[in-house]
Amino acid sequence: MEVNEQIAIDHGLKSDEYKKICQLLKRTPNITELGIFSAMWNEHCSYKSSRLHLKKLPTKGKKVIQGPGENAGVIDIEDGDAIVFKIESHNHPSFIEPYQGAATGVGGIMRDVFTMGARPIANLNSIHFGSPQHKKTKNLLRGVVHGIGGYGNCMGVPTIAGQTSFDSSYNGNILVNAMTLGLVKKNKIFYSKATGLNKPVIYVGSKTGRDGIHGASMASASFDEKIEEKKPTVQVGDPFTEKLLLEACLELMAGDSIIAIQDMGAAGLTSSSIEMASKGNLGIEINLNKVPCRETKMTPYEIMLSESQERMLIVLENGKEEIAKKIFDKWNLDFAVIGKTTNSKNIELFFNQEKVAKIPVNILVENSPMYDRKWKKSKLPKKNKIKNEVLNKLKIKDVLMKILSNQNICSKEWIWQQYDHTVMGDTIQKPGGDSGVVRVHGTNKAVAASVDSSAVYCWAHPLTGGKQVVAESWRNLISVGAKPIAITNCLNFGSPEKEDNMGEFVECVQGIGEASKYLNFPVVSGNVSFYNQTKEVGIKPTPSIGGVGLIKDYKKMISMDLKEVDNLVLIIGKTEGHIDQSLFARTILDEKNGPPPEVNLFNEKNNGESILNLIDKGYVKSAHDISLGGLLVAISKMCIKGNKGIKINKSKKLINEIEYFFAEDQGRYLIEVNKEDLKEVTKILNKNSVHHEELGIITQNDMIINEKTKVTIDELKSYYTNWLSKYMS
Amino acid sequence: MKSSVITFPGSNCDRDMDVALKKFGFNNKMVWHDDNELPKSDLVVLPGGFSYGDYLRCGSMASKSKIMQSVINFAKSGGLVMGICNGFQILVETGLVPGVLLRNKYLEFICKNVFVKLDNKENSYFKNLNKDIFEFHIAHNEGNYFCTKDQLKEIEDNNQIAIYYCNKEGKIEDQYNPNGSIKNIAGIFNKEKNVLGMMPHPERMIDQSLSGEDGSIFFKNLINNIK
């Protein structure tokens, strides 16, 4: 097939990008080469619209062993141990085929982690669906949950936390972000940089089929009504093979045979081989006839662009082929020497004794396009004036009932009960808490992880929203007693070619950067997903932040369930009554405008560190951060989980009662302390200038507010627990 | 006391079982599915997981793997063989225990704590336990126990039902049945009571920091019974 500009455009390349290819090659590419360019230069693989801005994120820190640029980020958790982690999107495939899309998203991120030598120890996910009333939502939710469970459960890796939201902006573009944490010894981390000449290049894992061809290109395009036709671009997952691949790779990694290793993820053999060569400043030569294929008569083009799952590419030390082969044979996996490293600095492909492609590696990587897209700055919206008369008409109990049973607040147990969250025998905080926590096997340490996003805030004011998500992640780790270490981000946005959407991206990234820098909470890995739009309508900007922290003594872990009657609950942080963009404003007042709550990074840091200090001294019996839904929702969850009541007495002089209970001011927590410790706790908080006040005293049953409103624990439970299972039945 | 845990391709609770057995004093060995011979053992455990991906009927491929012939011989000569979750599915596929395990009634994977009631303490597993109701953990997609009427009669006549799903107080009712199992059956013995298959995972409940400690009680008692 003769390549021309139209064919290039059909491959998702722009006209000027095609011209640049011809110029760099000094000739017209053949179809295989064009395929390779289209795979490497699409948005998903090249980050061409985002690179310029991502560079500004803080990625370094004392605890950072590896920042962005590898398969995943790596942080130091002391004693020679390290945690490898990353979050990644699988949005487009999951909308087209929810089960396989979500399943392979989970499979892909786990591969990213064990490619680096780490055994996966925890999975998390952040999933976002359209309005519950939308005709597709129920099936998409069911499919995605089954897919995540189907893959993770079979792998035997616990799914310990997650986030689910519903918003009509996802009606045509759901989001599925999967995150994995792995444990590795610091001196046994594997990288993707190939070194040395004439080293054997090994293919292991599943055979290559025609599935997923052009998956990465599909993920870089917008949706229209013909989207169903793209089903063949969705990969098919085989978690059993991945489990074997995991065990086989870890077995091989225990020795010293591997120089470099890279999983075949997006753009399959193309991106994995090119990345390894590029990082090592080498060439690579592959004989495509040696690639194990599942189907007959596959062309070089198809072999290079297939996104068949559960495959790895390894550069071995010379003479280690037999050792490696024996291990992969034991695990019944394909093993083939398919090529070698060269000093040509080209990627050269052979098929039936003919050279079918030859491209300088640096053209594909360093010369890949980078755009400084036009973007629109957003203004902070004006505050709404909410009249006291409106608020005073509302009954607290009615409002609480509506908010607790709101789809974005209510219990997600229907979802996480379908995920194995206890396999590996180290899960000490299950889903439903502020963070999931797993012990570092065989030690007294534990690792906490949480995943968060606040699309509504980001939509209202991207800069504030970006900061807020990082702050929330930080709070969720603090609330379980973990010292926050680093984050990974999954940036889900609309089209970068539209100034509004690009502006949301730029300013969210700026917000994330500011907060992570201030909190010393660097970004060590991540991924960008653009073009989350259907027929010109983009999703609400949705950066998902995955935070990881360390608990040095797992016995000091904190959970949110109220522990003991007669203990006091304190509010940490100041309640100013910010109602705009709160769940209350949206659901009760039907008010969708206004600014999100302000994020004061000084207070975030100060409040969080002070709480960690109190936890370390043993004063905190339970804790929970105050976020979506506000104060009363936060304490309700603590009552429900602890099966205890509370007597709340709000002092009269302050802001309106409704604002007090449902505002979403940031930087706040609830902590439970023993009466006898109150003096000492107050002293510490005062010394650190942390705003605090008493919310109430824990009782055997019932929530009683200002002696006039009574809600029983059973009522709270029924509001909170029933919505999702009813919706899905 | 010597124990062996069999690792099949796709097993994923093999390490957890190894940790639990060692914690309570077993000298445990991991045994590869492709081996011919079992090491000398007082107890053989088939662990949970997704052997061979469970792409065919759960447990059916594993029941035909090389090591299983030795396990079957060991069981037939009176040796203690315990199958947990996928291990239980493998046991029914070998025919060592009667019945089959169907997909859960509500067609969804379930991971949660449940209560189970012991029916029969005249066996090496439950003898000397001083309570009847245990809080265990389940995590499965195919735990819906089923058998024919004739089989059920035989099972009941021989006291082969090991544990039932129940509530905290030990009430065995439909509402406490997580997966649709016939008669709320969560675990079952062979006729001779030396082979036990059950869906719950006691190995996930061996520490106060985990889902609970009833697993510890079970394992401590088990090793004492074998001694």
| Percent of chain A clearing pLDDT 90 (strictly above) | 91
Banded pLDDT at A526 (limits 50, 70, 90):
very high
Q: How many other CB atoms sit within 10 Å of the CB of residue A24?
A: 16
| Chain B residues close to A427, C-beta within 8 Å | 210
Mean pLDDT, residues B30-48 taken together:
97
Q: In the prediction, which pLDDT does A219 show?
A: 58
**Residues A303-339: pLDDT tens digits?**
999 989 999 999 999 999 999 999 999 999 999 999 9
Q: How far apart are the first and last CA of chain B?
A: 7
Check B139 against A423: CB less than 8 A apart: yes
| pLDDT surpasses 70 at A221 | no
- In degrees and rounded to multiples of 5, residue B48 shows phi and psi of -80, 170
CA B72/CA B51 separation, integer angstroms: 17
Check A418 against B53: CB less than 8 A apart: no
| pLDDT surpasses 60 at A74 | yes
**Residues B17-30: pLDDT tens digits?**
999 999 999 999 99
CA A720/CA A402 separation, integer angstroms: 9
Name beta bridge partners: A348: A285, A358
B203 classed as catalytic? yes
Mean pLDDT, residues A112-134 taken together:
97
| pLDDT surpasses 60 at A259 | yes
Q: Which residues contact A367 (CB under 8 A, 6 or more apart)?
A: A20, A24
Size of interface A-B (CB pairs under 8 A): 83
Name beta bridge partners: A646: A698, A703
CA B3-B4-B5 angle, to 5 degrees, is 130
| pLDDT surpasses 60 at B162 | yes
SS (H, E, C) A99-162: HHHHHHHHHHHHHHHHCCCCEEEEEEEEEEECCCCCCCHHHHHHHHHHHHHHHHHHHCCCEEEE
Banded pLDDT at B129 (limits 50, 70, 90):
very high
Banded pLDDT at B10 (limits 50, 70, 90):
very high
Q: In the prediction, which pLDDT does B201 show?
A: 97
| Chain B residues close to A240, C-beta within 8 Å | 9-10, 50, 52-55
| pLDDT surpasses 60 at A680 | yes
User: At residue A683, what is the residue type?
Assistant: K
**Is the separation of the CB atoms in A311 and A264 below 8 Å?**
yes
Please provide the size of chain A in residues: 729
| pLDDT surpasses 60 at A697 | yes
**Is the separation of the CB atoms in A174 and A145 below 8 Å?**
no
Q: In the prediction, which pLDDT does A266 show?
A: 81
| Chain A residues close to B52, C-beta within 8 Å | 240
Residue that is written with structure tokens 């994120």 in the block: A57
Taking alpha carbons only, the member of B224, B200, B225, B226 closest to residue B214 is B200
Q: In the prediction, which pLDDT does B89 show?
A: 98
Q: In the prediction, which pLDDT does B58 show?
A: 95
| pLDDT surpasses 60 at A218 | no
For residue A240, the distance in angstroms to the closest alpha carbon of chain B comes to 5
**Residues B74-88: pLDDT tens digits?**
999 999 999 999 999
Q: In the prediction, which pLDDT does A225 show?
A: 59
Name beta bridge partners: A166: A129
Q: In the prediction, which pLDDT does A228 show?
A: 60
For residue A416, the distance in angstroms to the closest alpha carbon of chain B comes to 8
| A606 three-state secondary structure | helix
Q: In the prediction, which pLDDT does A227 show?
A: 60
Helix or strand (DSSP H, E) at B145? strand B144-146
- Is the alpha carbon torsion for A296, A301, A302, A303 positive or negative? positive
Q: Which residues contact A266 (CB under 8 A, 6 or more apart)?
A: A44, A45, A108, A215, A216, A219, A307
| pLDDT surpasses 60 at A272 | yes
Nearest CA in chain B to A151: B53
Q: Which residues contact A377 (CB under 8 A, 6 or more apart)?
A: A503, A507
| Chain A residues close to B141, C-beta within 8 Å | 153
Check B111 against A417: CB less than 8 A apart: yes
User: At residue A126, what is the residue type?
Assistant: S
Q: What is the pTM of this model?
A: 0.96
A90 classed as catalytic? yes
Mean pLDDT, residues A110-119 taken together:
97
Q: In the prediction, which pLDDT does A216 show?
A: 58
Mean residue pLDDT of chain A comes to: 95
Check A243 against B12: CB less than 8 A apart: yes
CA A652/CA A646 separation, integer angstroms: 18
Q: Which residues contact A508 (CB under 8 A, 6 or more apart)?
A: A458, A462, A463, A465, A466, A491, A493, A541, A543
**Is the separation of the CB atoms in B174 and B165 below 8 Å?**
no
The answer, for A239 touching chain B at a CB cutoff of 8 Å, is yes
Lowest mean pLDDT among A426-430, B186-190, B209-213: B209-213
| pLDDT surpasses 90 at A212 | no
**Is the separation of the CB atoms in A534 and A667 below 8 Å?**
no
Closest Cβ–Cβ partner in B19, B109, B210 for A153 = B109
Q: In the prediction, which pLDDT does A217 show?
A: 62
Q: Which residues contact A22 (CB under 8 A, 6 or more apart)?
A: A28, A29
Q: In the prediction, which pLDDT does A28 show?
A: 96
CA B165/CA B88 separation, integer angstroms: 16
**Residues A633-662: pLDDT tens digits?**
999 999 999 999 999 987 666 688 999 999
Q: In the prediction, which pLDDT does A650 show?
A: 75
| Chain B residues close to A144, C-beta within 8 Å | none
CA A302/CA B227 separation, integer angstroms: 61
What ipTM was reported for this prediction?
Answer: 0.97
Burial of B112 (0-12, 13-18, 19+ CB in 10 A): middle
Mean residue pLDDT of chain B comes to: 96
Q: In the prediction, which pLDDT does A285 show?
A: 97
Q: In the prediction, which pLDDT does A236 show?
A: 84
Banded pLDDT at B165 (limits 50, 70, 90):
very high
Active-site residue among B13, B58, B85, B147? B85
Nearest CA in chain A to B205: A425
Q: In the prediction, which pLDDT does A2 show?
A: 87
| pLDDT surpasses 90 at A232 | no
Q: Which residues contact A53 (CB under 8 A, 6 or more apart)?
A: A505, A506, A509, A510
| Percent of chain B clearing pLDDT 90 (strictly above) | 97
Question: Mutating which of A99, A423, A430 best tests the B interface, going by the most B Cβ atoms within 10 A?
Answer: A423
Give the count of alpha carbons within 13 A of A510, CB side only.
13
Q: Measured in whole angstroms, how far is the alpha carbon of residue B198 from the centre of its chain?
A: 3
CA A701/CA A639 separation, integer angstroms: 9
| A621 three-state secondary structure | coil
Name beta bridge partners: A544: A490
**Residues A618-635: pLDDT tens digits?**
999 999 999 999 999 999
Q: In the prediction, which pLDDT does B207 show?
A: 93
**Is the separation of the CB atoms in B206 and B213 below 8 Å?**
yes
Helix or strand (DSSP H, E) at A556? none
Spell out a b/e string for B70-105, using b for 16 or more CB atoms within 10 Å of the CB, else e: bbbebbeeebbbbbbbbbbbbbbbbebbbbbbbbbe
**Is the separation of the CB atoms in A607 and A575 below 8 Å?**
no
**Residues A142-184: pLDDT tens digits?**
999 999 999 999 999 999 999 999 999 999 999 999 999 999 9
CA A703/CA A637 separation, integer angstroms: 11
Lowest mean pLDDT among A225-229, A517-521, B51-55: A225-229
Q: What is the CA radius of gyration of chain A?
A: 26
The answer, for A439 touching chain B at a CB cutoff of 8 Å, is yes
Banded pLDDT at A224 (limits 50, 70, 90):
low
Closest Cβ–Cβ partner in A243, A425, A557 for B204 = A425
Domains of chain B: 2-226 (3.40.50.880)
| pLDDT surpasses 80 at A229 | no
| A7 three-state secondary structure | helix
**Is the separation of the CB atoms in A83 and A182 below 8 Å?**
yes
CA A233/CA A221 separation, integer angstroms: 12
Q: What is the DSSP string of A650-687?
A: --TTSS-HHHHHH---SS-EEEEE-GGGHHHHHHHHHH
CA B90/CA B113 separation, integer angstroms: 23
Active-site residue among A11, A90, A461, A578? A90
